[in-house]
Amino acid sequence: MSHGVSVIRNPDRRRYEAALDETTVAGFVDFQEASALVVLTHTEVDPAFEGRGVGSALARAALDDIRERHLKALVICPYILGWMRKHPEYRELLFNAPPSKVRD
C-alpha cells in the first residue's frame, strides 16, 4: 500500500498529480475529458520515486475520481491497463469494456 502519496486532479494541466510531500510531484497521469468520458493517456513516475506505490496510487485515485463523478474511462495508457487487470473491481468504468459474461 502506498503511504504518504496524495493525488489531486489538476484540471488546468489536464492531469492527476501524485505528491509525496506538499511540493514534489512524484508522478502524474495525463487525461483528456469529454462530457461523459475521461481518456487516460499516459502515466509517468519520476525515477527517484519508483517502487514507492506512486503509479498504483495514481491509477486508483484517477479511477476513483472518474467513478465518483459518474463518468467512464477510456484507457489508452498501458500502465493503467495493466493495473486494471490486477484490479477487476474497476472494470465497469471502462468505456470500451466487453459486456460481463456473468449471467443471473
Q: What mean pLDDT is predicted for residues 55-75?
A: 97
Asked whether the beta carbons of 11 and 32 are under 8 A apart, the reply is no
- pLDDT value of position 81: 96
Going by pLDDT thresholds of 50, 70 and 90, the confidence category of residue 1 is: very low
Going by pLDDT thresholds of 50, 70 and 90, the confidence category of residue 65 is: very high
Helix, coil or strand: residue 79 = helix
Tell whether the model's pLDDT for residue 100 goes beyond 80.
no
Which strand (E) or helix (H) includes residue 55? helix 54-68
Q: Domains of the chain: which residue ranges?
A: 6-93
Q: Which CATH number fits domain 6-93: 3.40.50.150, 3.40.630.30, 3.30.70.380, 3.30.70.260?
A: 3.40.630.30
- pLDDT value of position 98: 62
